[in-house]
Structure 1
Amino acid sequence: MTTPDPGERLAGARQAATMPTNEMIFSWIRDLTAYSGRGTQTIDDHRSADYLSAKLRDFGLVDVQVQEAESFHWHATRSELTIGDASIAHSPVVFSFDVNGGNGSFSTGPSGLTAPVVDVGDGQEGDFARVDATGAIVLFNLRFTLPRSVLLAAGDFLYDPHGSVDAAELDTPNPYLSNFDEVLQRVIAAGAVGFIGVLADYFESHDIRPEYTPDITIPGLWVTKSAGARIRGLLASGDSTATLHLEGERKPTPARTVIGYLPGLSDETIMVQSHHDSAWDGGVEDASGTAEVLALAAHFSQSAQSQRPRTLMFVLMDSHWTGYQAHDRFVETFITQPTTARRIVANVTLEHIAKQAEIGPDGQLEVFDRPEYRGVFENVSSDLKAVIERAVAAHGLERTVRLPLDKLGPLLGELPTDADSVYEAGVPVISLISGPMYLYDKADTLDKVYKQDLRPVAEAFADIIGHLAVTPADEIGA
């Protein structure tokens, strides 16, 4: 009798195993969103890490552990903005007013910071050349710089069987890349004492919490596009002085990475990753990605070790908003200076199973019951590129584009997903992500998850992992 090869054994095990239902996966998302502002957004927060560790143990994973890394929590206890007699609705710019270069309290003082407001529009060099920002509060437009059209144009494959791509939607940007860093450098170099960022490309919300930006040494606030217009009207009428209050503290707190294993026949390991922390409820970012990792862990746990050609490692990170300290520590421990014989040969990352959203005619967020455009970033072999395309089509993942990193790496400067540090360490990656405009906003609630795709996404990536498990390690990367 002929002994089945590892690929045949794995295929048989996959057919026998079941995938959790949409309802089951969604229940895990619901559980996680109950831990609002979880992870490093809450001081010494064990909730999501404890929940996920228990889930992995329930599924039968072994060597379940929580790796800690030193991170921090930023919290404003008071923020106010007035121009003349007018109070302006706003949110503090998280991580701003970093006066101590580290942990500690910050405050504009009991009387706040009063200074003239200088408007620099989009904050280009010429805009600053026309004004004197010394000792001023700078008003500028935050612009998002990565429209969908760029990602679709860079793709080698788009699955859109019903022709749903709408040219009118392609100029919509996601909030990941913006002009903030370059404008902030000009603001500080010009000698400003504070800033007000107008969310000019955003829906009518100031509750945005982008990822960590270091060295914001002055206080800053976000306002909506309509509030920005109001401020500019006040400036035009002669109310050119603002009073800004910002008080709070930055405290050390550990980031927690949850790790669990399904041993295989080899110490060569496939890493399956997402992140469990969130700025708000985080239904999409990233309870949805975390739940996909749980679904895959539950699915593959039904197979015997003898049916897994490679070890599977499930990893759920923290510190996504505070500087990726958890990711850096993980890479050092398991990739660049490994303390285990298990060698990571491939990475699969899943993030953001999201409903599409646009800015409606009234400026409000308009959400649609269809998937947000999504990309699969990858730097794998041509055979595995074809595997990705077949899996996407077989499981009906509409509006999905395959994005080769040899094209996009130079354009973006990094991999714009949670897998960036692993990618930079030289591990081949296959990373699913979408970028709905509400991604960093308080509006990212449970109802934004595109529920009907939860199981299909997991099924597609189970197929991909199955092929990774039997591809020789030196044939995985591009």
Structure 2
Amino acid sequence: MSIQIPTKEEIMGWIIKIYQKGIRRPGYDADYWVENWLEEKLKEFGINRIILEPLKIKRWKTKNPKLLIWKEESPEKILELPCFPIPYTVPAQNLTGEISKNLEQEKIVLGRLNLIKLPTSSLKHLTNKYYDPRNEFDSLNQLMPTGFFHNLMNDAISNGASAFIGYIANYPWDTCEYYAPYDAIEKRIPGVWISPKGGKKVSKLLLNHSVHAKISYEATNEKVKTNNVYGILEGNSDEWVIISTHHDAPWASATEDSSGIALVLAQAKYWSQVPKEKRPFNLLFLWNCAHMAGGKGGRSFVGKHKKLLEKTVVTIVLEHIARDCKTVEGKLIPTDDPVVKWWFITKNSELQDLTLNAIKKEGLYRSVVMPTEGFPPGSEHPPTDAAPFHLAGVPIISLLSAPPYLFDPADTLDKVHIESIEPITRAIIHIIEQLKGKTPSDTRKQV
């Protein structure tokens, strides 16, 4: 029987199926659906060791947001602005107050956030291992999906603000549906996002007027159960390789992380066809829960499986196969190119080199081998689902792309870089094959 690598059409079909189930936040119906669907797919592949490992989390839900704005001298002239409640904030029922750009007690604080603009050339200060055959990195700029939001709202809370209104001034399109922060820490005041246009409108009013607002929305933060899902294939070894991602998302989210779910599933299908005696390791295919609830699923798995992790040669994490976009008249237009691929790899020269060789072999341009610490500055772990494994001392290869639409419903099916799907699948297979005979002590040797 010939062993077939899943095609991009098959893998994209899985992504479409997941995406079409709708919003997949932790504990939502679509999230439960994908847990059951993964179990069914693993059984279809002949993988019989399947575990759904339960975890209690907080499921945050919101509805009926409304924001009204008016000048103090003309309260009859009310402006209604579209808004989206900030995740894990408390609900508001007609909360009314004066808006201030300053951190003032009992005021509704207006916060202006900018997404980080990262020149790709700056990454050369972190690494000399990258694949840029088109010589783009010196001129390429990447708009990240994050800024320093936590400082803004936390400062407002600690200074006694009654509520918070935030906007992202440099969002390339006009949206208020920004699902962040997703740390699952309850914020003790209400807060909403408004669009860049809405934020600039309120800011302009504040130049010459006292401005008031009324905020209303429902929100619940209910304890529910969700599951880490994993399947196991035994190999010709006592050692393990874990291939992982997360199964929840901020929205229906085609790249975050329908694409990662499908890429791990592609590995499961491929290796299920390989006879046990030819599999170089025991293989564990893991889909973590609650990534969008403070990464609780990954931390739980690592905490529960310390003995297994001692025998793990590497954990490979696959997230966000994203297409680059340009903005034309306030609309996102997909291009032919991928968003820059960050490969966070443990400081082991063999792991880094064999990954870079696989990247080059498969033509995965716009790829950078990144350090597992120090990005963002001061961080002790990568900004990926591999963080708990790294902190536990497990060697990692963690692939991530970070487009600006990552936490927005604009993460639609046309944002998946389908051209990268098969090359990444082949590259991961090649890496696992090249690691044959390696032990955990081998991959834990630092450069």
TM-score by length of 2: 0.92
C-alpha deviation, 1:254, in angstroms: 1.6
* Alignment partner, residue 35 of structure 1: 21
Distance 1:41 1:438 in 2: 22
Q: Deviation above 4 Å: which 4+ runs of structure 1?
A: none
Q: Find 1:352's aligned residue among 320, 326, 329.
A: 320
* Alignment partner, residue 252 of structure 1: 223
C-alpha deviation, 1:44, in angstroms: 8.9
- 5 Å-filtered alignment, 1:400-439, equals 400-405=367-372, 408=375, 411-439=378-406
**SS at 1:469's partner residue?**
coil
C-alpha deviation, 1:166, in angstroms: 6.1
C-alpha deviation, 1:36, in angstroms: 1.4
**SS at 1:423's partner residue?**
helix
Structure 2 residue 216 is matched with structure 1 residue 241: no
Letter in 2 for 1:258: V
Q: Find 1:322's aligned residue among 293, 302, 310.
A: 293
C-alpha deviation, 1:248, in angstroms: 2.0
* Residue 136 to residue 341, structure 1, CA distance change in 2 (3 Å): closer
* Alignment partner, residue 26 of structure 1: 12
Letter in 1 for 2:394: V
Q: Find 2:133's aligned residue among 161, 184, 188.
A: 161
C-alpha deviation, 1:362, in angstroms: 3.2
- 5 Å-filtered alignment, 1:51-70, equals 51-70=37-56
**SS at 2:116's partner residue?**
strand
Residue-pair matches, total: 435
Q: Find 1:280's aligned residue among 235, 251, 271.
A: 251
**SS at 2:378's partner residue?**
helix
* Alignment partner, residue 17 of structure 1: 3
Q: Find 2:64's aligned residue among 68, 72, 78.
A: 78
Structure 2 residue 345 is matched with structure 1 residue 375: no
- 8 Å CA contact 2:375, 2:383 repeated in 1: no
Distance 1:44 1:291 in 2: 15
Task: Tell me the alpha carbon deviations over residues 202-257 of structure 1, each in whole angstroms, 9 at most, x when there is no partner.
Answer: 12111111242324111111112111111122223425111111222111122211
* Alignment partner, residue 85 of structure 2: 92
Distance 2:221 2:6 in 1: 40
**SS at 1:470's partner residue?**
coil
Distance 1:368 1:476 in 2: 37
- 5 Å-filtered alignment, 1:185-200, equals 185-200=154-169
Q: Find 1:116's aligned residue among 77, 91, 98.
A: 98
* Alignment partner, residue 429 of structure 2: 462
Task: Tell me the alpha carbon deviations over residues 154-191 of structure 1, each in whole angstroms, 9 at most, x when there is no partner.
Answer: 23222121224462x42x33124x21111222101211
- 8 Å CA contact 1:355, 1:372 repeated in 2: yes
* Residue 117 to residue 319, structure 1, CA distance change in 2 (3 Å): same
Percentage of matched positions with identical amino acids: 29
- 8 Å CA contact 1:357, 1:437 repeated in 2: no
- 8 Å CA contact 1:93, 1:220 repeated in 2: yes
C-alpha deviation, 1:146, in angstroms: 6.1
- 8 Å CA contact 2:242, 2:312 repeated in 1: yes
Q: Find 1:212's aligned residue among 164, 175, 182.
A: 182
* Residue 117 to residue 397, structure 1, CA distance change in 2 (3 Å): same
Distance 2:374 2:153 in 1: 29
C-alpha deviation, 1:266, in angstroms: 2.4
C-alpha deviation, 1:300, in angstroms: 1.2
- 8 Å CA contact 1:267, 1:342 repeated in 2: no
Distance 2:187 2:114 in 1: 18
Distance 1:208 1:406 in 2: 27
Letter in 1 for 2:175: S
Structure 2 residue 413 is matched with structure 1 residue 446: yes
Distance 1:113 1:341 in 2: 49
- 5 Å-filtered alignment, 1:217-228, equals 217-228=188-199
C-alpha deviation, 1:200, in angstroms: 1.3
* Alignment partner, residue 181 of structure 1: 150
* Alignment partner, residue 388 of structure 1: 355
**SS at 1:376's partner residue?**
strand
Give structure 2 stretches of 5+ with no counterpart: 71-77
* Residue 88 to residue 419, structure 1, CA distance change in 2 (3 Å): same
Letter in 2 for 1:436: P
**SS at 1:254's partner residue?**
strand
* Residue 194 to residue 39, structure 1, CA distance change in 2 (3 Å): closer
- 5 Å-filtered alignment, 1:266-277, equals 266-277=237-248
Q: Pairwise CA RMSD of aligned residues?
A: 2.1
- 8 Å CA contact 2:373, 2:380 repeated in 1: no
- 8 Å CA contact 1:70, 1:325 repeated in 2: no
C-alpha deviation, 1:415, in angstroms: 1.2
Distance 1:160 1:77 in 2: 45
- 5 Å-filtered alignment, 1:301-340, equals 301-335=272-306, 338=307
Give structure 1 stretches of 5+ with no counterpart: 1-12, 98-105, 121-127
**SS at 1:236's partner residue?**
helix
Distance 1:450 1:153 in 2: 27
* Residue 232 to residue 406, structure 1, CA distance change in 2 (3 Å): closer
**SS at 1:250's partner residue?**
strand
Task: Tell me the alpha carbon deviations over residues 237-294 of structure 1, each in whole angstroms, 9 at most, x when there is no partner.
Answer: 4251111112221111222111001101223110000111112111100010111111
* Residue 135 to residue 211, structure 1, CA distance change in 2 (3 Å): closer
Distance 2:312 2:439 in 1: 13
- 8 Å CA contact 1:25, 1:291 repeated in 2: yes
* Residue 269 to residue 254, structure 1, CA distance change in 2 (3 Å): same
* Residue 409 to residue 356, structure 1, CA distance change in 2 (3 Å): closer
C-alpha deviation, 1:407, in angstroms: 5.2
**SS at 1:412's partner residue?**
coil
Distance 2:67 2:309 in 1: 55
- 8 Å CA contact 2:254, 2:411 repeated in 1: yes
